[in-house]
Amino acid sequence: MDSPRPGLARRGFLRGLGGVSLGALLAAGATTASPTASAASPAAAAPARHRFLRVNNIRVHVVEAGTGPLVLLLHGWPETWYSWRHQIPALARAGFRVVVPDQRGYGWTDRPGAVTDYDIEHLVDDITGLIDVLGERQAYVVGHDWGAIVAWHTALLRPERVRAVAALSVPHRWAEPAGSLLPVESLRATYGDHFYIVYFQRPGLSDVDLASDPRTLFRRMLYTGSGDGPGWNAMIPSSGRILDVLAEPTALPAWYTQHDVDTYTAQFRHSGFTGGLNWYRNFDRNWLLTAPWRDSPVRPPALYVVGDRDGIASSPQAQQLLAGPTASVPNLRRAVLLPGAGHWTQQERPTEVTEALLGFLRSV
């Protein structure tokens, strides 16, 4: 397992964490006065700290702020704890204990070597193990993108540990395969070998591609998948270069800065992309592992938030949740469709997402 060296110089360590002081969370990442503000307006940031915890035999880097009921914020791909930079101080000021991990394979958390170390059982065990290490019995579990998948499955498989679940962008059971096929086989049959999830299955290929120019990757990816960009092209071209399907912004949108691009670049130059890609390489394994729960509902109270310019908003599963409770999520309390927002919901619309989360958390 790889992990940050104990002897890392303090300055280099903080640079890798996103340039955050241990006494206060990100002046540059404090919640903005409005979601369209051109620059972050530093609010009185709640005291926060970075630390490492031993969870399920790996060392997990977390950012923690506030006191009160425990809220876990789970990032997606390709992100880190930093994607929640706006919500951390806001939720802490509102009376919650906010803990945001770099999930396994990401940031400064360990990166196990086997692909199967990233299956859904390991990912859910990391969340319940983190709750245990933090000395709690339950938590509010909030996730975005792949973090939403982990949040849904933690609520499904371990409902006694979840006070409530909130998912951003990705609805529950969004990748159901057709007929008797496994998920990757189904995607290959429908879209071909160049569909991005199929492309990600080959170890070493996409890993090298993504790592070749992470600064350009994050500048383009954040723009392309946002409400300001043209939207995803999920097909990787014959060149095999993901950068070739990502649009170059003429100027950065108001919601992210060059500092944000540089922060993600530094974090992924440290961690590489293989850990996150290994989550995708367990699609079929996860489908088989969760077969016994196929007809089981997610029972804890739930919130769903998605941008109307996120392609996943048009999926049948998202449309069903936007219409109200479903058989799979019978205790859905609220669904929020964010006009003009794309995939990076909590970064593009920090004020609206924070308000939705606070309203939901307080209600349950």
Q: Average pLDDT of each block of 10 consecutive residues along the chain (364 residues)?
A: 34 42 38 30 60 97 98 98 98 98 98 97 98 98 98 98 98 87 93 93 92 97 97 86 94 97 98 98 96 96 98 96 97 98 98 98 96
**What is the residue-wise DSSP string for 9-68?**
-HHHHHHHTTS--SSS--STTSPPSSTT-SS-----PPPEEEEEEEETTEEEEEEEE--S
Per-residue pLDDT at 122 = 98
Per-residue pLDDT at 7 = 34
From residue 270, alpha-carbon distances to 17, 80, 205 in Å are: 10, 12, 19
Taking alpha carbons only, the member of 308, 354, 364 closest to residue 332 is: 364
Per-residue pLDDT at 178 = 80
- In this structure, are residues 232 and 225 in contact, taking their beta carbons and an 8 Å threshold? yes
pTM: 0.89
Active-site annotation, residues: 145, 343
Per-residue pLDDT at 32 = 30
Top-level CATH class of 10-181+283-363?
Answer: alpha beta
Per-residue pLDDT at 5 = 31
